[in-house]
């Protein structure tokens, strides 16, 4: 089993990812940490505990993390995820409670414990990367237990929060820039599962309506139906769930290594991930800034049917 930690701001697509990570037999979900993003931090914690209970995994430690981005005001996405972050589905809420430890402390403890056993954990941030930035700057020694970071965020060519920027990066661009810098300096491999592939793992309404018979499957069906109604479509992407699919089955994802930066100051482009695809030394040598020091495996294509089947087979 592959040890993993998810860092989430649990909205509809984070819930798709949590169900997959909690239920898949090849993943050892060691912790879930929460950050403000799609909704406020307190609601994120409640949503996360609720989804894990539906998945039959109330044993997984959950911790409350950063409520706010490092510098800018919090921006939520009720227009996508509903006022409660779970599409206002009126799903029965869990009575479980989060850890007393802060999310950064839980991340530290789990990673150091793994390092002591000679293990490497895959960290899967599906939210603004505030917790991860704080972790890598405060406790860089966790690198000994950290195998890779596979994050949902950014894009090579499109945006959703703005015309330039993807929501997770745009919500806390300073945190994303810190994670890129720290991971590059510490030698932690990075994979970006961005908007270029985010929409390509689609569950049809017909497939969703066939799900049922357990709390996990019932919630999975409700999530797809809600997202389908939101976009007035005959199906819906599992969104963040695709990043978890990529950890389970990397062969379904096509990536290329590119230097990557986050734009922090542009009026129209703040939060944009700048993917440097240049390959001519003349352009590179004449650039006064030079290529970004951190090279990231950037997702360029995904086998959507393969990952959709993986998700369906797991949550059902």
pTM of the entire predicted model: 0.97
Average pLDDT over residues 66-71: 97
* Nearest CA-CA partner of 51 in 215, 199, 175: 215
Q: Provide the pLDDT for residue 131.
A: 98
Element (H, E) at 80: helix 78-81
Query: Which CATH number fits the domain that encloses residue 156?
Result: 3.90.245.10
At 279 the pLDDT is: 85
Q: Structurally, how many domains does the chain consist of?
A: 1
* Per-residue pLDDT band at 231 (split at 50, 70, 90): confident
Per DSSP, the three-state class of 173 is helix
> What confidence tens digit (pLDDT) does each residue in 156-180 have?
989 999 999 999 999 999 999 999 9
Residue 284's pLDDT is what?
80
Residue-range definition of the domain harbouring residue 306: 2-315
The string of pLDDT tens digits covering residues 71-128 is 999 889 989 999 999 999 989 999 999 999 999 999 999 999 999 999 999 999 999 9
| pLDDT of res. 22 | 98
Cα–Cα distances (Å) from 12 to 84, 158, 177, 249, 304, in that order, read 10, 21, 26, 22, 19
pLDDT at 280 over 80: no
d(CA 86, CA 233): 19
230 pLDDT tier (thresholds 50, 70, 90): confident
Look at residue 4 and give its three-state secondary structure.
strand
List, in order, residues 6 or more apart from 173 with CB less than 8 Å away. 165, 262, 263, 264, 270, 271
Q: Are strands 253-262 and 295-302 parallel, antiparallel or unpaired?
A: antiparallel
Q: What is the DSSP letter of 263?
A: -
Spatial distance between the Cα atoms of 15 and 81, rounded to a whole number of angstroms = 11
Question: Which 3 state secondary structure label does DSSP give 139?
Answer: coil
Cβ(311)–Cβ(241) below 8 Å: yes
């Amino acid at each position: 089993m592959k040890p993993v930690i998810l860092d989430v701001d649990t909205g509809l697509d984070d819930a798709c990812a949590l169900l997959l990570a909690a239920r898949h037999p090849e993943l050892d979900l060691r912790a879930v940490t929460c950050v403000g993003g799609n909704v406020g931090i307190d609601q994120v914690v409640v949503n996360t505990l609720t989804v894990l209970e539906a998945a039959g995994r109330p044993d997984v430690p959950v911790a409350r993390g950063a409520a706010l981005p490092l510098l800018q005001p919090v921006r939520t996405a009720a227009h996508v995820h509903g006022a409660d972050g779970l599409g206002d589905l009126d799903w029965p809420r869990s009575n479980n409670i989060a850890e007393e430890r802060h999310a950064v402390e839980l991340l530290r403890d789990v990673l150091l414990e793994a390092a002591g056993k000679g293990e490497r954990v895959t960290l899967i941030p599906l939210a603004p990367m505030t917790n991860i930035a704080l972790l890598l700057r405060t406790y860089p020694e966790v690198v000994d237990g950290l195998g890779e970071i596979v994050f949902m965020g950014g894009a090579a060519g499109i945006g959703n929060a703005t015309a330039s920027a993807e929501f997770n990066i745009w919500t806390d661009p300073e945190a994303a820039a810190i994670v890129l810098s720290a991971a590059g300096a510490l030698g932690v491999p990075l994979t970006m599962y961005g908007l270029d592939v985010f929409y390509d793992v689609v569950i049809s309404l017909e497939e969703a309506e066939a799900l049922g018979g357990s709390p996990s499957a019932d919630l999975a069906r409700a999530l797809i139906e809600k997202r389908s109604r939101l976009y007035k479509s005959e199906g819906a992407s599992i969104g963040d769930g695709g990043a978890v699919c990529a950890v389970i089955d990397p062969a379904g994802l096509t990536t290329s290594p590119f230097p990557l930066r986050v734009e922090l100051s542009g009026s129209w482009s703040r939060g944009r991930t700048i993917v440097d695809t240049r390959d001519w030394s003349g352009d590179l040598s004449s650039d006064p800034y030079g290529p970004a020091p951190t090279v990231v495996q950037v997702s360029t294509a995904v086998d959507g049917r393969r990952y959709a089947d993986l998700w369906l087979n797991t949550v059902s």
